[in-house]
Amino acid sequence: MNTIFRLFLFGSVLLLAACSVPAEEELVTVVEDVNLISLTEDGLNLSFVNLPDKGMEMEPAVTFNDQLGRYEISLSEDLTFCISEEETSIDDIKNDLRNDLLFTYKFYDEGTDALLYQAVLPDGTDYLYQYAKILKVNSKKFLLFSDTHGEFSLQQIKLIKKVINSVSSLD
């Protein structure tokens, strides 16, 4: 059944690319570079589209971290994001960040279900960027976030954000 669904999804993407009108050439370019990854084998009915930057090689890998109870998706050697089932909100994340004793944070792109933020060192030096998004699937909430152990530039986090925002439910 999984194989049939994947073939159907892949065929739909190819059909979309073939039937596109010339005014949507940018869409066709993106669709041709699509890599669909599904997590249904592990009971999590999510898929995401890996949209690589031009000239950037990506070989996505998905692993489950038993110790932390989350999926870790590696887009390349230094670009990783995670998915965990959590009852949390963007406000909860912001409150946790405000209680950090080392860093202060600047919040960008704030929304009810997503947050791009930057850590600032005690001396006022801008440091690294992170991104988090809440995805509701049926009665479950998933937190999708850039790997908090990674140190991402704004350019890197924009790419991770683009991929995270492509995650959708297969339900």
3-state SS, the chain, equals CHHHHHHHHHHHHHHHHHHCCHHHHHHHHHHHCCEEEECHHHCCCEEEEECCCCCCCCCCEEEEECCCCEEEEEEECCEEEEEEECCCCHHHHHHHHHCCCCCEEEEECCCCCEEEEEEECCCCCEEEEEEEEEEEECCEEEEEEECCCCCECHHHHHHHHHHHCCCEECC
Q: What's the chain's average pLDDT?
A: 75
pLDDT of residue 171: 63
pTM for the full model?
0.72
Per-residue pLDDT for 144 more than 90?
yes
